[in-house]
Amino acid sequence: MKTREFGNTDADIVLIQPVDDHDLEGIENEFAAITNKYDKQFRLIAVKIGDWNNDLSPWEAPAVFGKENFGSGASETLDKVLELCGDRSKTYYIGGYSLAGLFALWAAYQTDVFDGVAAASPSMWFPGFAEYMKKNEISADTVYLSLGDREEKVRNSIMATVGDRIREAHVLLNERGVNSILEWNEGNHFKDADLRMAKAFAWVINSRNI
């Protein structure tokens, strides 16, 4: 598993983010933006994902755009991510954008290693995930959710459900005592991903480290 790291390697706060090539193009800008919003030392580990639709999917699902189906490689990816979290004296947060945001949220249902989740424009339309959240309990006590205000205004009928699903998720998390916020960003899914991720991580770590 290839990683890129930023910040203080000895910091007590560690942010972990699965990324693709597009995310890496803006990762330095993201790190700088987090630094501007959080004035303490932290470490950001960007984890390069090889097969996005397989490695971040919690279970198999048919393609909703293009022809590539979703696999079930999230468990294996999470095992590798957890190898980066061996020092339990540190505080770990997981976050991601798009399908990586969904993976981050799902990961917090699998383990109590992560104190918070930063899910920016997560793929909440993913088949079966809303039902999964209702039937299971999340371990993280702080969750940031966001969506672009144009993301649910798409022709794809499955992806158009993302707005309703993320609203439901926010209500559900709050009902179960999770410190959660749902923020709406201007634009579609592809606008300012680096800045949206920075805002997500900054909110989570500021909420947990006041």
In whole numbers, what is the pLDDT of the chain averaged over residues?
A: 95
- CB neighbourhood size of 91 (10 A): 18
Span 99-158, pLDDT tens digits: 999 999 999 999 999 999 999 999 999 999 999 999 999 999 999 999 999 989 988 889
pTM for the predicted model, two decimal places: 0.96
Is pLDDT above 70 for 183?
A: yes
Helix H or strand E segment including 80: helix 74-82
- Residue 137: predicted pLDDT: 97
Instruction: Determine which of 15-19, 23-27, 134-138, 149-153 has the lowest per-residue pLDDT on average.
Output: 149-153
Does position 170 have pLDDT exceeding 90, yes or no?
yes
Query: How many distinct helices (H) and strands (E) make up the chain?
Result: 8, 7
What are the pLDDT digits (tens) for 78-112? 999 999 999 999 999 999 999 999 999 999 999 99
User: 173: Cβ–Cβ under 8 A, 6 or more apart, which residues?
Assistant: 138, 143, 145, 180
Q: With contact defined as beta carbons under 8 Å apart, do 108 and 138 qualify?
A: yes
pLDDT score of 1: 82
Are 29 and 194 in contact by the 8 Å Cβ rule? The answer is: yes
CB contact at 8 A, 49 and 104: no
Contact 115, 48 (CB under 8 A): no
